[in-house]
Structures are given as C-alpha cells and as structure tokens.
Amino acid sequence: MTATTDGSGVGHPSRGAEAGSPDTVLTTRQAAGEATARAVEHLLARQDAQGWWKGDLETNVTMDAEDLLLRQFLGISDKATTEAAARWIRSRQLPDGPWPTFHGGPGELSATVEAYVALRLAGDAPDAPHMAAASAWVRDRGGIAAARVFTRIWLALFGWWRWEDVPELPPELIFLPKRFPLNLYDFGQWARQTIVPLTIVSALRPVRPAPFALDELHTDPRRPNPPRPLAPATTWDGFFQRVDKALHRYRKVAVRPLRRAALNAAARWIVERQENDGCWGGIQPPAVYSVIALHLLGYDLQHPVLRAGLESLDRFAVWHEDGPDGAPVRMVEACQSPVWDTCLAVIALADAGLPRDHPALVKAADWMLDEQVLRPGDWAVRRPGLPPGGWSFEFHNDHYPDVDDTAEVVLALTRVDHPDPSRLERALERAARWTAGMQSRNGAWAAFDADNTSPFPNRLPFCDFGEVIDPPSADVTAHVVEMFAHLGRGHDPRARRGIEWLLAEQEESGSWFGRWGVNHVYGTGSVVPALVAAGLPTAHPAIRRAVDWLRKVQNPDGGWGEDLRSYRDPGWIGKGASTASQTAWALLALLAAGERDSEAVDRGVTWLAATQRPDGSWDEPYFTGTGFPWDFSINYHLYRQVFPLTALGRYLHGEPLPGTRPER
C-alpha cells in the first residue's frame, strides 16, 4: 500500500489503507493539520480588542433562581429580567420534573426547590404540568426540610422557613484569633467571603413576607419543619450539632455591645474587600450575600457600595436572543474567567504553531501583564511578608489571586516574544517568587491559600453546600511543577518536593484525582505533562501506569469522557460520553509520555478532527469543570476550544521544551 502526494509533502492514503499503517498515520496528520488551522482561525476571531478571551461560564439554575430571589427581597424586580430568567430556568428542567446541577446529571433537590420558587415568583401556576411534576418530585425526596442550608436560608428570608431551624452562624466568629479553630481563615476564600455576610443575616433574621405559600413543597404542610435527628455525641457530626444547639441558646443571651461590635466589624470586613468594579472576589454568591447583609445594616440601594455591588451583579448576566420561541433568555454566571481563558488560549495558539511574536499573542501578553496582582490579599494571613505577584481568575479580583491561574499565566507568557523583555522578566520573577512562597507544608500547592486544611469547617451543620476548605490538589501542584520546569527551575528544591508529593498521590489505578476539573482524566492530563517536563523519563513506572490507565478508559469511539458522578461513585471513574476537552486532556498526557505514534493517540486525534464543527469549534454540552467536587459543576464554554487545539498542536509540532525561553 502506498501513499501519493500533491507536492505539499502531506501524504494522501490509497484506498483500503490498514489501521496502524504509515498511510493511516499520514491521514491522521492531515486531518489534524486541517482541524488545527480551522481552530486557530476560530479562536483568533474570538479575541477581544483589549487582548483577552472569555467564554461563557455555565453552572446551574440556582444562580438564576437566587438572582430573582435577591431582586424580590430588595424590591427591584423587573418584568423583562424575570421573564428572561424564567425561560432559561424552564429550559433546564428534566422531563420528570426536577432540575440537575450538570448536563446529563440526575435531579437535585435544592436546585429543584430554588428553581420552583423562582418560577412561582415569575408567575408560573403551581398546578401547571411542569410545576406539579417538580413539586411532586420534591415531596418524594423529603420536601424543603431535606434541602441544603443555603436553600432554607433563602426561604427563611421570605417566611417560608423558620430561622430557628437554620444552623446558627454568630457574627462574633469574626473575632476568633487566626490560630483558633474555625477562625475565618480556616475556610477557603469562597466560603469565607460568603460566611461573613451570612453572619449578619443570621444575626438579624429578616423576614419579608412572600406573596404566596409553599405548602406543595412540604411532605406534611401541617408539620413543615420536622426536627432533624441528632447524630451520636461521640461523632464529629453529633458534636457539632450540639454546638449548634448551644449557639442557638447563646443567641438569646448574647451581650448586645459585643454583638453590635461584631456586626460592625463584619460590615467593615465586607466593605474593605469590595473590588473596584463593585463585586466581591469576582464571584456572584458572595456579592449577593454582601449586598443583602449591608442593606440589612442600613445601607440604602443608592449607597455607593450597594449601587456598585448591584451593577456588578448585572455584569454576571449573559443574554441570548435565541431562546425558546425566539424570546430572549438570561443566564447568570457564577463568575467570569477572562484571565484563565486568556492564558489557556495563548498556550493553545502558541503550541499550534502561531509565531511567538504574533500580534494576538503580544496583545494578550500585554493584557495579562496589566492584570498581575501587586497588593497583598487574604492569602497573606498565612504567608505574611511574602511579596505579591500572582494572577486572579476574573477581571477584577485583587484580594484573591490564585496559584493555578498564576502558573498557567506564566506558562503562557513564556511562549511569547514580548517587545519589552525586561517587563516580562520582572513579572515572571514576581510570579515565581509568590508561587514558591505559597507552597504548603506537605510540599504541594492549593488554589488560593497555603495550609488551608483544617478538618473542622466541613463538619459544621451550616456547611453542607460543598467544599469549604482549600487543601492542596494534584492538578494545581502539577501546573506549578510544570511552570517551574518551563522557567528552567525544574530542579529547584520546592519543585522536587512537589514532584515527590505528586508521585505519592497517584491512585492505584495509575490516575490522579482532579480537584478543579472532571476528574481523573483531568488530574492525569495535568500531572503527566508536568512530571515529564520536570525531567521524569517517560519510562518511569508512574508514567507507564498512567498511560496504561488512559488506554484502558478510552471510549470505543476513540475519545475520552468522565461523568461528574465519578466524584461520588468510583464506578464512574474514567467513564462518560466522549468530550472534546477530556479527550484533549488524555491526549496531552499520552503525547507527553511519548505515545505520539500509538494507536490510542491516533484514535483520539481522529475523534477530535471528526467531531470538529465546520467553523473550527467543538460542541460540548457536558460539564467538565469543577467548583466543588460533585456539589458545584461548571461548563467552561472555551474549554471545548482551547484544549483540543493545544492537543492537536502538540501532536503536530511536538511538546514545548521547558527551560528554553529565548534570551533577549
């Protein structure tokens, strides 16, 4: 069997080429080259004039429901917003009545309760078929009483639930010393920003009567608040349940001057952390609760702090004009990801062969350099004296830069020939110093804080909404190790400790757990390239075990996928419908491991090329990003573009070489 050429040097197979033959390899390379060219063109067209990229960040309908509840609570609802949000919420309902928290997932009780209440506020009648199906589903699963604490807090704001039956969260928490258990800085940054305003709400217990009852969401409307059974006192859960009962009793005898001082201290803490754009930490939930808390303390809606806060919340809304029946829909993002999306886009374009001095890359580098955070934030509580130098995830978030974004921004910047090399080098040096200083005691890195590993916060009855601490993870640590390798510091003692931790964290299967992406495919796709970049030979047992696992879980269609249920059910690990982003993650690991000519890579690249849309993009309704494992999932709409392009680029051009930045 022979191949012919058209003079371009690209082989074209004869008919009947056998799988695995040189002709097939040439066909795959040709398809990969054409797919890469289309993807590059598509991605370049999506760059903003200022230099950044940002895809939609889709989560679940609790964001939309809570936005409508906030507007109802503040008395600022408007018909157009309510109707557009309601259309979006309805479009996400499952046929049997509930709402899921990720595409293809099962119904979830709290999301269904909140979506149902939001639709009631929008005017949907409780006896409408879709509403009756939802309320029946809720009752079958225990009703409102079985919902999470956050859901019951929202209902308590309107008198649909008793404040006495919500776990107590005293504002005096803000006075706990930083070394005392359960102080504010024992919580992850996202939980900390949410808990402080909720201590104000919990202390004041406001009720703004609702325009209707919710009897249809109780298993027994005559007994809507059934007592919850106590766990044995000898267990941590039982211990903290009894602490909560004690805090409810303390509320009745709390010293008024102390409580007033705590409320004022909490308000100052909130105001001091408001970003320049009016938001808090660049994420929607803390902004929502901060607005409510400050409003309860007397800030009117025209106060500059609240006015800016409400305006920032409007910027989380994504409007689409092509909703059901051609009517507009409004989706609320939990946050926005321009820094993350931009650095990943730069890596993808550079690895796909775009020249290092291409104007799009230089413009993106300029924007990222301007976004470097040069002021201390909450991270400095655990690392006092460490000079700043990280990057955040969002447009405006100077208080909470994160290690993961910083590592990936550095990896992006090392791929750009910037016209001001000294400016670039200063930024890289600041970033490397800050990242090194954020290493936890065990040798690994977490996202936002160092050594944020207290076992107690997750035990609190209040904290049933997902992960509330920020321990080190394999994916973040891998990105840092890869960053050090590309800076020529792969043998730095900090990097070597990170490598040792990663090797110890490998699962028996050969995979790694993915904290911020779904799941073991993401973890493995992050770790293997980092270990190889840092000098581990591709023959190392850890690398070979990872390769064997990826081959084992490859889907029959040639792609890879992993369902979010893998966070709870080990039977789902490595299993799920093939997606563009997860296929790319697996390919990145295999390519780094020297498997470029393997059948697994050939099948994966072929799947990517075959599933690409004519415009150079990929379709991916599945959620492959993680906020809290299982509890809060994310569909990053740009993941389907940047990761496949990176994988195809490395398939065509080889792995980027670490520690080889050109000197200027």
Q: How far apart are CA 144 and CA 264, in angstroms?
A: 33
Residue among 67, 86, 65 nearest 76 (CA): 67
Q: DSSP characters for 92-135?
A: T--TTS--BSSTTPPB-HHHHHHHHHHHHHTT--TTSHHHHHHH
Give the separation between CA 19 and CA 28, rounded to whole angstroms. 11
Q: Does domain 32-55+337-454+474-653 have CATH number 1.10.630.10?
A: no
Q: Counting Cβ atoms within 10 Å, is residue 557 exposed (0-12), middle (13-18) or buried (19+)?
A: middle
Q: What is the pLDDT of residue 664?
A: 38
Burial of 395-404, coded b for 16+ CB within 10 Å and e otherwise, reads: bbbbbbbbbb
Following DSSP, what letter does each residue of 489-529 receive, concatenated?
-TTSHHHHHHHHHHHHH--TTS----SSBSSHHHHHHHHHH
Task: Give 460-488 pLDDT, tens digit per residue.
Answer: 877 777 789 999 999 999 999 999 999 99
Architecture category of domain 61-332 in CATH: Alpha/alpha barrel (1.50)
* Whole-angstrom distance, CA of residue 648 vs CA of residue 629: 28
19 pLDDT band (50/70/90 cuts)? very low
Please give the average per-residue pLDDT across 294-300, as a whole number.
97
> For residue 5, what pLDDT band results from cuts at 50, 70 and 90?
very low
Percent over 70 (pLDDT), the chain:
95
- Whether the model pTM is above 0.75: yes
Say if residues 651 and 591 touch (Cβ distance below 8 Å): yes
DSSP state for residue 656 in the 8-state scheme: P
Nearest to 657 by CA among 519, 493, 533: 533
> Look-up: residue for tokens 């504002």?
171
- The catalytic residue positions are 404
Assess whether the region 32-55+337-454+474-653 and the region 61-332 belong to the same CATH fold: yes
Q: How confident is the model at residue 24 (pLDDT cuts 50, 70, 90)?
A: low
In which band, very low, low, confident or very high, does the pLDDT at 323 lie, cut at 50, 70 and 90? confident
pLDDT in tens, 205-252: 999 999 999 999 999 888 888 877 888 888 877 888 888 888 888 888
Does residue 209 contact residue 429 with C-beta atoms inside 8 Å?
no
Q: Residue 177, Cβ neighbours under 10 Å: how many?
A: 7
CA dist., res. 112 & res. 118, Å (int): 10
Q: How do residues 506-539 score in pLDDT, each as one tens digit?
A: 999 999 999 999 999 999 999 999 999 999 999 9
User: Residue 175 above 50 pLDDT?
Assistant: yes
Give me the residue spans of the domains in the chain: 32-55+337-454+474-653, 61-332
pLDDT tens for 444-461 read 999 999 999 998 988 887
Is pLDDT larger for residue 15 or for residue 531?
531
- Asked whether 409 and 368 are in contact (CB, 8 A), the reply is yes
Digit-coded pLDDT (tens) for 557-588: 999 999 999 999 999 999 999 999 999 999 99
Q: Identify the pLDDT of residue 610.
A: 96
The one-letter amino acid code at 205 reads R
Each residue of 259-277: pLDDT tens digit? 999 999 999 999 999 999 9
With a cut of 70, say whether residue 81 has pLDDT above it.
yes
Distance from C-alpha of 492 to C-alpha of 514, rounded to nearest angstrom: 25
> 49 CB contacts (<8 Å, ≥6 apart)?
none
d(CA 647, CA 351): 8
Residue 80 in this model has a pLDDT that exceeds 50? yes
Q: Exposed, middle or buried, 46 (CB in 10 Å: 0-12/13-18/19+)?
A: middle
Helix 599-611 vs helix 639-653: crossing angle, to nearest 10: 130
Please give the Cα distance from 500 to 506 (Å, whole number). Answer: 10
Cβ atoms 457, 187 nearer than 8 A: yes
- Give the confidence band of 91 by pLDDT, cuts at 50, 70, 90: very high
Confidence at residue 238, expressed as pLDDT on a 0 to 100 scale? 83
15 pLDDT band, cuts 50/70/90, is very low
Helix (H, G, I), strand (E, B) or coil at 7: coil
Closest CA to 202 of 145, 157, 240, 237: 157
**Residue 331 CB neighbour total at 10 angstroms:** 25
Altogether, the residues listed in the chain come to a count of: 664
- What is the structure's pLDDT at 18? 40
Radius of gyration of the chain (CA): 26
CA 66 to chain centre: 19
CB 60 within 8 A of CB 102: yes
